[in-house]
Amino acid sequence: MTSFDQHIKVAVDAVVFGYSKQEGVSVLLIQRKYPPFQNSWAIPGGFVLEHESLEEAVRRELQEETGISVNYLEQLYSFGNPGRDPRQRIVSIAYFALVKSSQFQQLKASTDAEHAQWFGINELPPLAFDHQDILGVAIERIRAKIRYQPIGFELLDKIFPFSDLEHLYVSLLGREIDRRNFSRKMLALGILDETKEYAKSEGKGRPSKLFRFNEQRYQQLEKEGMNFEV
């Protein structure tokens, strides 16, 4: 058996997607305060401390570098190319999250982050390290996931017109959808409860019905294995 020494650090990174009806999908980035890639934009993240779990580390880094906390984080992928960091061999465990960007406009950068800022998903600056690759994998994951699993209802208001749900999917997928087919499939799942309220009409058209997300029904379908594809 060949003996060897490992000198590998473990880090975490967090791809946080923000959504608002007005601005669509955005990505939370930090501007690095120190080398390497000083002043470059990057995904929030950092090293895992000895006493931390991976999720504890990524939540701490988000809080320290951007001032935000998120309810839901999902592990994305591991990135371990030997040349991904010029300092030494570092393996990063990446996560992704979806949040309402309107709830996190007061960002607070600290530690090794000079600034924290939301960028439109189609207006991203060049990124440090291999963070462009990490972001690309995260975009692919979320676009694949929403095609077979209705997610992102926490990004909508508690009651909402169906058009808001369509806009959310169009924004996350980055393409148009067959609205009639989408409406038929979504309503057939039974995860939307029609309310007796209507949206205020901005023109001469009829006011739109408002819906509420049925979380209990959604959780039941998850256990049973739902069949949904946009």
- pLDDT tens for 74-107 read 999 999 999 999 999 999 999 999 999 989 989 9
Domain boundaries, the chain: 9-148, 157-224
Structural Rg of the chain based on CA atoms: 20
pLDDT(165) > 70: yes
CATH 1.10.10.10 correct for 157-224: yes
Q: Which CATH superfamily is domain 9-148 in?
A: Nucleoside Triphosphate Pyrophosphohydrolase (3.90.79.10)
Q: What residue type is assigned to position 220 of the chain?
A: Q
pLDDT top residue among 29 and 206:
29
Beta strands 9-20; 90-100: pairing state: parallel
Q: Residues 6 or more apart from 57 whose CB is under 8 A from it?
A: 12, 46, 47, 48, 49
pLDDT top residue among 204 and 49:
49
pLDDT top residue among 60 and 200:
60
Orientation of helix 162-173 relative to helix 131-148, angle to 10°? 140
Instruction: Look up the pTM and report it.
Output: 0.90
